[in-house]
Every structure is written in structure tokens, then in C-alpha cells.
Structure 1
């Protein structure tokens, strides 16, 4: 026996699958849009971070260069002070050596400078009426013989006067004539050298 026929009630919605597909497509598009937005946000954030890192690196590099420049200035100033100190010490050593050598030469030959100076006076003061030479007590006898011999050899025709002076140091002398005179005084020479060296070193600071 055949099944009874059912009456069609027109209650089936044939558009439901299309709506479902539309919703699925919209959800997919939304997901893609969100993903794209996230990607763009990541790229923007990454670029911003890179710019900030670059700026920080440049700032640190500038600070480092400034610090290096300051350090080089300090080093240069230190080197300059070392060079000045070394130069000062070198000059002081040279002066000390010269003084020591001068003392040793005077001790070994105390009449050398005296006779050399007196001999120059004889050559340039041949017509001088008289010449007075003052020397230390300890060198008087030895100096008298040498100076008198120098006067004869140089042709000095004036009156030669030799005097011993207890205030004159060994190796020093005073020479006087009518309108002038000169002094050989080692202490005064050393003082002048010290003054000149002091001025030179002061100008180098």
C-alpha cells in the first residue's frame, strides 16, 4: 500500500546556505583584515623601534666621540707638562754640570781665566798709564810672575800694580785703569746664569 502523500507547506528556507556562506566569507575577510592590520602594526612598530635604536646609537656615538676628544686633550696637556718638566730638568742638569765643571777647572787651573783676561787688557790698553790688578791672597805670588811676564811680552809700557785682596775669591780678579775697569767674579756670573735660566723656564710654562 503506497505511503500517503504529504502536503508541501512552503516552510523550507532555501536561502540559508547562502547566508551561512556570506557569514563565513565576512568572518574570513575580517580575519584577514585583522591579520593585515596586525602585520602593518608590527611593521610600523618595528620601523619605529629601528629609528629609536639608530637615534640612540648615534647619540651614544656622539657622546663617545666627545669623551674621546676630552681624553685626548687631557693626554695632550699631560704630555705637554711632561715635556716641559723634562726640559726644565734637562736645563737644570746642564747648568749644574756646567757649574761643577767650572769649579773643577778653576780648582785645577785657577790662574787660567785671570791671565787670559789680563792678557786681553794688555793688548787693548797698551798706552794706558797704569793698570791695577787685584787678586786673592792665595794666588798672589803665582799670579804676579805670570802677569808681569804677560806685560813684557805684550809690550805694555804703563805702570803695572798687583794687589792681593782677601775679599776676592780664588779664580776671581778685578782690573782697573784710569777710565774704566772690569771684574771677573764667578759668583756674579753664576747668579746671572741662574737668572737667565729662570726667565727662560718661566717663559716655557
Structure 2
């Protein structure tokens, strides 16, 4: 009887041991299966968090400029130089501040400006019309700040000035699209021809224009 009881207890303990071992094997198998699934997920693109929608690249990073406003290819471009124009012609002048049209209406050569005699030989008085092509108001004095007169296209040039009663100051503002007419006065040596030019020596900041005329063409 005692022997039977011992055998029964031993069998019961063996059963418990087998059940425990089988449970551990199942848990270990489940853990390996889970690790395998996670490893496969990582190899195929990462976890759910890693597979969130990719962020959009900026225009600079992607190089795609479609749908974005690009600067005009003509922005800051200067007109071609207009040289050797004549009395009555109109030139297109543009610098890094404003844009204009300048028309040389007429030219007068005289030995006196009012009561003041020429110190160089004679006065050259050019009648011009300035049209403001800019989007902002402008002053003719600024537009004519690079306008000089010489006896040769590349020769020594002198600036204009004004004398009361002959050549008045350019002080009025010119609205966008508006025009203003007046004269530029130069005290020049006597010559058979003259060149009125603007923008010379301002390469990259302004285009160049010039009007050429002989004394036979003036009043």
C-alpha cells in the first residue's frame, strides 16, 4: 500500500513537471515567433511608427520648382545701348533706380546765356523732354545726373548747369508715365559737332545713349 501511494505521488509530480515544461516551451516559441515578426517588420521598412507618411521635401531639397513663382529672367536687364541718335530722336535710358525716355527736341548755340558771356567759347542749349517710365515718381535732375556734352563720342565731357531766365532748375516731380520738357545748358568750346550722352562710365548700372549733331543742324 505504501509503495502504491509513493508511485501515485511520483506520477502526479511527473505530470506536473511535464505540464510546466510544456508551458515554458510554448512561451519560448511565442517569444521567438514575435521576435521573428518584429525582425521581419524592421527589415521590410521598420515599425508602424517608422512607416508614417514621409515628410515633404522643401523645393530647395527636391529641386522641383513647379508651382512656385520664379523671378523673371529679364529682371534687372538693361536696354541695349543707343548711340549716334539725332535731333528729334527718342532714347530709352534705364539705370539701377529709374527708367526713362529722353527726346532731344532741338539745339541752340549762342555766345551769351542771358547777360552772361561764355567762358569756354559758346553755350550749347539742348531742349529735351523726359518721360518717366518707372512705377514711382522721379525728378529730372536725377535722370540727367549722368548727362554730359562733349565734342567727341569718347572725348572730355562737361556737365550741364542752369542760368536764371535761360535754363531753369529741374525741381518738379514727374509722376509715373508723366513727362517734363526743359533745357540743359552747357558752356563749351567752339566745335563743328557735339555729342550729348548719358550713362557713359556707368557700365552695369545703366545703358548708354548718345545724340550727335553738327552746328549746321542747330538753330
Question: In which range does the TM-score fall when normalised by the shorter chain?
Answer: 0.3 to 0.5
The structure that is helix-richer by fraction is: 1
Question: What TM-score does the superposition give when structure 1 sets the normalisation length?
Answer: 0.39
Q: Which has the higher contact order (CA 8 A, sep 6+)?
A: 2
